[in-house]
């Protein structure tokens, strides 16, 4: 029995030794093959050694190179050894930043550059268009909607009831019609005269309605005490819209003039003039949205921008905000008519005046 066990142990030890030797030699052969494998060949590709403005001629001193493996797709790139034949003397269609690989769509002949337009048109994706809308400090998140920001657009409207035939605001004005019809003792009249009743401000009285007085149980005719109050409504109309520019784009003539003038530093003790606050913002939208925005601009809508997060591409379905929606959504009760009230009388909500309101914050 003991001899049998000894032979079994020896056999196991021998198998483990053979397996270890096999793995050792296999790894050694792999290492030798990897060491013997030749390094991939590198190809020098042209890059911008310094920033190249749009429309500038490409010269030898603005070009540099980087090395890429031979298997890279060089379809639209330029090899560094061919730069003089293919690149030098061409013109940049778009602004090319330093370190960017120069490709064929970025360059062209002098005549082709003139048709590409200003440099910011390259920021507009195909199928999209840019439109400008008025803005203010309140409607632009305190001017936080800088170039390249993503925003939502909220539109607010005022609606009134109108007469569909006259296309005028209700209620209509009343007038008197005389000398119409036939009288037995007189010749028939084929014409009628219309005269409007006179009020303190406008000719004609506003059309009212008949109601039954609850005390005397007599019908009375009542007219409105003021003009019809418009009913506001607000809704988010566009989401995840890109801001192309906050403020005015530079005009070519102004750019040339500014480049030729040297800025005069302010005298010691003088405060430099504050820059003009932007009153316009340009958005990148679809052609249909641009048409809708144009209608809203001329239709009296008030537009407000809200700033989105940098990586937020979500879409949230919103409900239009009306007085009825606010009362029900936020459980706001309509105040009851009580036999007492505050003194002094409150007809408008006025923000309290604070001591520091007149003090300008330090810049």
* 72 domain-assigned: yes
Per-residue pLDDT for 195 more than 50? yes
- Please tell me whether residues 234 and 319 are part of one structural domain: yes
* 63 domain-assigned: yes
- Please tell me whether residues 238 and 309 are part of one structural domain: yes
- Please tell me whether residues 151 and 249 are part of one structural domain: yes
Predicted TM-score (pTM) of the model is 0.63
pLDDT score at 199: 47
Res. 115 pLDDT band, cuts 50 70 90: low
- Please tell me whether residues 316 and 240 are part of one structural domain: yes
The enclosing domain of 47 has a CATH number of 3.90.1210.10
* 28 domain-assigned: no
* 347 domain-assigned: no
**Mean pLDDT, residues 77-102 taken together:** 82
Last residue of a domain, one of 101, 117, 133: 117
**Mean pLDDT, residues 141-145 taken together:** 92
- Please tell me whether residues 197 and 281 are part of one structural domain: no
Per-residue pLDDT for 58 more than 90? no
129-138 residue pLDDT tens: 999 999 999 9
* 137 domain-assigned: yes
Per-residue pLDDT for 193 more than 80? no
Per-residue pLDDT for 161 more than 50? yes
- Please tell me whether residues 50 and 149 are part of one structural domain: no
3-state secondary structure the chain: CHHHHHHHHHHHHHHHHHHHHHHHHHHHHHHHHHHHCCCCCEEEEEEECCCECCCCECCHHHEEEEEEECCCCCCCECEHHHHHHHCCCCEECCCECCCCECEHHHEECHHHHHHHCCHHHHHCCCCCEEEEEECCCCCCCCCCCCCCCEEEEEEEEEECCEECCCCEECCCECEEEECCCCCCCCCCCCCCEEEECECCCCECCECCEEEECCCCCCEEEECCCCCCCCEEEEEEEEEEEEEEEECCCCCHHHHHHHHHCCCCCCCCCCCCCCCCCCCEEEEEECHHHHHHHHHHHHCCCEEEEEECCCCCCCCCCCCCECHHHHHHHCCCCCCCCCCCCCCCCCCCCCCCCCHHHHCCCCC
Q: Which domain holds residue 107?
A: 42-117
pLDDT score at 256: 45
- Please tell me whether residues 72 and 176 are part of one structural domain: no
Res. 84 pLDDT band, cuts 50 70 90: confident
**Mean pLDDT, residues 199-218 taken together:** 78
* 10 domain-assigned: no
- Please tell me whether residues 304 and 317 are part of one structural domain: yes
- Please tell me whether residues 242 and 306 are part of one structural domain: yes
* 93 domain-assigned: yes
* 7 domain-assigned: no
- Please tell me whether residues 249 and 208 are part of one structural domain: no
- Please tell me whether residues 52 and 112 are part of one structural domain: yes
Per-residue pLDDT for 204 more than 80? no
Total domain count, the chain = 3
Per-residue pLDDT for 264 more than 70? no
Res. 163 pLDDT band, cuts 50 70 90: very high
pLDDT score at 141: 94
- Please tell me whether residues 91 and 205 are part of one structural domain: no
Per-residue pLDDT for 35 more than 60? no
- Tell me what the pLDDT averaged over the chain comes to: 80
Res. 363 pLDDT band, cuts 50 70 90: very low
Share of the chain above pLDDT 70, in %: 74
Share of the chain above pLDDT 90, in %: 33
């Amino acid at each position: 029995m003991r001899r049998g066990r000894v032979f079994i142990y020896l056999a196991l030890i021998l198998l483990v030794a053979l397996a270890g030797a096999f793995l050792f030699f296999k790894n050694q052969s792999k290492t030798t093959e990897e060491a013997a494998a030749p390094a991939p060949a590198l190809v020098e590709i042209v890059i911008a050694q310094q920033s190249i403005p749009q429309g500038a001629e490409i010269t030898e001193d603005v070009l540099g190179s980087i090395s890429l493996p031979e298997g890279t797709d060089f379809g639209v790139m330029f090899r560094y050894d061919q730069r003089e034949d293919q690149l030098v003397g061409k013109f940049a269609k778009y602004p090319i930043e330093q370190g960017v690989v120069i490709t064929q769509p970025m360059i062209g002949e002098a005549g082709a550059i003139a048709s590409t337009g200003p440099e910011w048109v390259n920021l507009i994706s195909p199928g999209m268009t840019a439109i400008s809308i008025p803005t203010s400090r309140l409607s632009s998140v305190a001017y936080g909607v800088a170039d390249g920001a993503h925003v939502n657009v909220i539109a607010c409207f005022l609606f009134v009831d109108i007469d569909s035939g006259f296309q005028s605001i209700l209620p209509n004005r009343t007038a008197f019609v005389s000398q119409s019809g036939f009288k037995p003792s007189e010749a028939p009249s084929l014409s009628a005269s219309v005269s409007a009743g006179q009020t303190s401000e406008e000719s004609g009285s506003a059309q009212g309605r008949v109601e039954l007085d609850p005390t005397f149980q007599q019908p009375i005719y009542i007219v409105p005490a003021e003009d019809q109050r418009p009913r506001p409504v607000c809704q988010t109309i566009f989401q995840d819209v890109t801001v192309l520019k906050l403020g005015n784009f530079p005009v070519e003539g102004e750019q040339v003039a500014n480049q030729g003038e040297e800025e005069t530093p302010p005298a010691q003790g003088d405060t430099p003039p504050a820059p003009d606050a932007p009153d316009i913002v340009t958005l990148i939208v679809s052609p249909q949205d641009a048409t809708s925005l144009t209608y809203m601009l001329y239709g009296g809508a008030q537009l407000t921008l809200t700033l989105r997060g940098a990586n937020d591409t979500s879409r949230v379905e919103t409900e239009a905000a009306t007085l009825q929606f606010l009362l029900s959504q936020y459980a706001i009760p309509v105040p009851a008519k009580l036999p007492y009230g505050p003194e002094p009388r409150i007809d408008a909500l006025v923000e309290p005046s604070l001591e520091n309101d007149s003090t300008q914050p330090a810049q």
